[in-house]
Amino acid sequence: MTAPMSQCLMQMVQTDYALSDYQSEIAPRWCAGCGDNAILTAMQRLCRDEQLPPEKTVCVSGIGCSSRLPHYMNAYGFHGVHGRALPIAEGVKIRRPDLHVFVTTGDGDCCSIGAAHWLHAIRYNMNMTVLLHDNQIYGLTKKQTSPTSPHGLKSNTTPHGAVLNPLNPLTVTLGVANVSFVAQAVDWIPDLLYETLSKAYHHKGLSFIRILQRCPEFMDHRFDDWVRDPSKMRILTHADGLRLKPEVSRIYKNQETHDPRDMGRALAISSLNDEIPVGILYRDPSVPCYDELRAGERPNTPALVQTVLNEEFDKVGIWPDPATAPEIRE
Q: What pLDDT is attached to residue 10?
A: 52
Predicted pLDDT at 301:
74
pLDDT of residue 1: 47
The residue ranking higher by pLDDT, 3 or 272, is 272
Q: Which residues contact 229 (CB under 8 A, 6 or more apart)?
A: none
Q: Is residue 320 a part of any domain in this protein?
A: no
Q: DSSP 3-state helix, strand, coil percentages of the chain (rounded to 5)?
A: 40, 20, 45
First to last CA, the chain: 47
Q: What is the pLDDT of residue 222?
A: 94
267 located within any domain: yes
Mean pLDDT value of segment 3-30: 77
pLDDT at 91 over 90: yes
Which residues, other chains included, contact 162 with Cβ-Cβ below 8 Å and sequence gap of 6+? 145, 149, 150, 151, 152, 153, 154, 155
Give percent above pLDDT 90 in the chain: 82
Q: What is the mean pLDDT of residues 272-288?
A: 96
What is the dihedral sign for C-alpha 125, 129, 135, 139? negative
Within a domain: residue 274? yes
pLDDT of amino acid 3: 53
227 CB contacts (<8 Å, ≥6 apart)?
188, 214
Taking each helix axis from N to C terminus, what angle separates 85-95 and 115-124, rounded to the nearest 10 degrees? 30
Q: What's the DSSP call for residue 144?
A: B
User: What average pLDDT score do residues 185-213 get?
Assistant: 97
CATH of the domain at 265: 3.40.50.970
- Residue 228: what residue type? R
Report whether 234 contacts 275 (CB < 8 A).
Answer: yes
Q: Identify which of 168, 147, 148, 144 has the alpha carbon closest to the alpha carbon of residue 158.
A: 144
Contact between residue 125 and residue 288 where contact means Cβ atoms under 8 Å apart: yes
Rounded mean pLDDT of 64-93?
A: 95
In a domain, 295, yes or no: no
Residue 172 has pLDDT above 70, yes or no: yes
If one compares 301 and 328, the residue with the highest pLDDT of the two is 301
Torsion (CA) 201, 41, 169, 64 in degrees, nearest 10? -120
Mean pLDDT confidence for 192-202: 98
- Bridge partners of 215? 219
Using one digit for the tens of pLDDT, what is the confidence trace for 105-131? 999 999 999 999 999 999 999 999 999
**What is the predicted pLDDT for the residue at 329?**
61
Local structure of 18: helix, strand or coil = coil
Task: Tell me the whole-structure pTM to 2 decimals.
Answer: 0.87
Read off the pLDDT of residues 208-251 as tens digits, 9 standing for 90 and up: 999 999 999 999 999 999 999 999 999 999 988 898 999 999 99
Q: How far is CA 173 from CA 250, 266, 306, in A?
A: 31, 11, 38
- Average pLDDT value over all residues in the chain: 92
What is the distance between the alpha carbons of residues 277 and 203, in angstroms, rounded to a whole number? 20
Phi and psi at 69, nearest 5°, equal -55, -40
| pLDDT of amino acid 45 | 98
The verdict on residue 27 lying in a domain is yes
Q: Is 233 contained in some domain?
A: yes
Q: What confidence tens digit (pLDDT) does each residue in 20-78 have? A: 999 999 999 999 999 999 999 999 999 999 999 999 999 999 999 999 999 999 999 99
Is residue 312 domain-resident?
Answer: no
Integer-rounded Cα Rg, in Å, for the chain is: 22
Answer yes or no: is pLDDT of 319 > 60. Answer: yes
Q: Does position 134 have pLDDT exceeding 70, yes or no?
A: yes
Identify the bridge partners of residue 199 per DSSP, sorted by sequence position: none
Residue ranges making up the domain that contains 144: 19-289
The pLDDT assigned to 94 comes to 92
At residue 103, what is the residue type? V
Percent of the chain with pLDDT over 70: 92
Q: What's the structural domain count of the chain?
A: 1
Rounded CA-CA distance 129/201 in Å is 6
Asked whether the predicted pLDDT for residue 2 surpasses 60, the reply is no
In a domain, 90, yes or no: yes
Element (H, E) at 34: none
